[in-house]
Amino acid sequence: MKTGYIYDESYFWHDNGSGTLYLTSGGYLEKDVFVEDPLTKRRVNNLLFRSKLMDDLHQLKPREATKEEIEYVHKTSYIDKVKELSDTTGGDAGDHAIVGRGSYEIASLSIGGAIRAVDAVMENEVDNVYALTRPPGHHAEADFGIGFCIFNNVAIAAKHAQKKYGLKRILVLDWDVHHGNGTEQAFYDDPNIAFVSIHQHLSFPNNTGYKEDVGTGAGEGYNINIPLPPGTGDAGYVAAFQHIIAPILDEFEPELILISAGQDPGMFDPLGRMMMTAKGFGKLTDIMLDLADKHCDGKIVFCHEGGYSNGYVPFCTLRIIEQLSGIKTDVTDPFEEGSQGYPDQLYSNQKAAINEVIEVQNKYWKTLKTLP
């Protein structure tokens, strides 16, 4: 496999300011490292170098997205607001979407990373791509930034794929532990882009991501939310992939697959409670690679979203890129032994949650069958 990799040093220079977990520090919140810190992403990069996997990845350079491209998803007034904050004092572009000085250009380059990834796969420059995009994008709505997301990288890249290559069926899968509300909004009435978000139910945002939200108008049936209970581990995720996502892809037959890859379902994440292991992320990647081979000549693009454990995100992400490239390094997950006793089976509450999604979605996807 020829696997492309995209990052830019400036991705690590987007500055959220000081904070404690996801809040601005002050009052009784003593200053700490803000949870969306560059270090998590830099450590992904560092482990790729340290393991020498970086040597075997095809390096692709991002470019800044144009304002016209950002307007595929975002309102002009919102784009102008972000630019003004970025050029002056910085500030919040909505709800916890911090714009630092110069963040407009970095966010544009993050979008451009996703666009470059799509172009590289569509033009057969590489087989697949992992783009270490930062700031992340999946929460960002048309005129509102949310949850560290300023512009919606993956949504804009999907629109780019529609416009430039005339694609009629794109599948966007968001496995970040939080609901991909921004991406859902961008394609809610679009039957040409199927959106699947698998997430911890009501983790964030706390009022979106319901299984009943299936799309509207011509897009009805093409929005698939899979809310799972806290504590779902590898086995629960794999079951949801095998029994919901794979059959839907087999019916939809996508021409391109985009993954919003947030590694915050990982077992040490401060903002998620999903207990996934690096090995589990490898299994999910394998399932998606098989589906991409079956339906779209292997065309699959991964764009980094959330993931806040400095210690663990690098190992989860390395495993994903190993599976993408087919190259096994000598790095093993040093935390695997410590995860013995973590959930590794399909529990009844997870099976119930999966079946509830299937009962909603089999109105649209006839091959879905509830689990016994």
Residue 44 or 57 having the CB closest to Zn ion:
44
Nearest distance from C-beta of residue 345 to Zn ion, angstroms: 25
Q: How far is the CB of 263 from Zn ion (least distance, A)?
A: 9
User: Of 178 and 295, which CB lies nearer to Zn ion in the complex structure?
Assistant: 178
Piece in contact with Zn ion (CB under 5 A), picked from 17-25, 35-43, 262-270, 322-330: 262-270
Quick one: which segment of 48-56, 115-123, 264-272, 323-331 binds Zn ion (CB under 5 A)? Answer: 264-272
**Which of 141, 184, 213, 264 forms a contact with Zn ion (CB under 5 A)?**
264
- Toward Zn ion, which CB reaches closer, 196 or 346? 196
Cβ pair 100, 86 in contact under 8 A: yes
Site size with Zn ion, rule: CB under 5 A = 5
**CA angle in degrees (0–180, nearest 5) for 62-143-271:** 70
Does position 243 interact with Zn ion (CB under 5 A)? The reply is no
**Residue 306 sits in the site that holds Zn ion (CB under 5 A):** yes
User: Please, which residues have CB within 8 angstroms of residue 68's CB and are 6 or more apart in sequence?
Assistant: none
Retrieve residue 372's tokens.
């016994």
User: Closer CB to Zn ion, residue 233 or residue 262?
Assistant: 262
Tell me if residue 139 is catalytic.
Answer: yes
Amino acid at 207: N
Is 262 a residue that touches Zn ion (CB under 5 A)?
A: yes
**In the bound complex, what is the minimum distance in angstroms from residue 69's beta carbon to Zn ion?**
24
Query: Catalytic residue among 74, 96, 138, 139, which?
Result: 139
Considering only the stretches 187-195, 216-224, 305-313, 338-346, report the one whose residues sit in contact with Zn ion under the rule CB under 5 A: 305-313
Does residue 199 contact residue 176 with C-beta atoms inside 8 Å? yes
Least gap, CB of 184 to Zn ion (angstroms): 14
- Between residues 256 and 278, which has the closer beta carbon with respect to Zn ion? 278
Residue 261 CB, shortest distance to Zn ion, in Å, is 10
Site string for Zn ion, 124-163 (x = CB under 5 A): ----------------------------------------
Smallest gap from Cβ 136 to Zn ion, in A, equals: 7
Interacting stretch for Zn ion, rule CB under 5 A, among 93-101, 103-111, 153-161, 168-176? 168-176
Binding to Zn ion (CB under 5 A) within 172-191 occurs at 176, 178
Write down the least CB distance from residue 350 to Zn ion, Å: 20
CB nearer to Zn ion: give 83 or 178: 178
Applying CB under 5 A, the span of 183-191, 226-234, 301-309, 363-371 interacting with Zn ion comes to: 301-309
Please write down the HEC assignment for all residues of the chain: CCEEEECCHHHHHCCCCCEEECEECECCECCECECCCHHHHHHHHHHHHHCCHHHHCEEECCCCCCHHHHCCCCCHHHHHHHHHHHHCCCEECEECCEECCCHHHHHHHHHHHHHHHHHHHHCCCCCEEEECCCCCCCCCECCEEECCECCCHHHHHHHHHHHHHCCCCEEEEECCCCCCHHHHHHHCCCCCEEEEEEEECCCCCCCCCCCCCCCCHHHCCCEEEEEECCCCCHHHHHHHHHHHHHHHHHHHCCCEEEEEECCCCECCCCCCCCCECHHHHHHHHHHHHHHHHHHHCCCEEEEECCCCCCCCHHHHHHHHHHHHHCCCCCCCCCCCHHHCCCCCCCCHHHHHHHHHHHHHHCCCCCCCCCCC
Residues acting as catalytic residues: 139
In the complex, the residues that contact Zn ion under the rule CB under 5 A are: 176, 178, 262, 264, 306
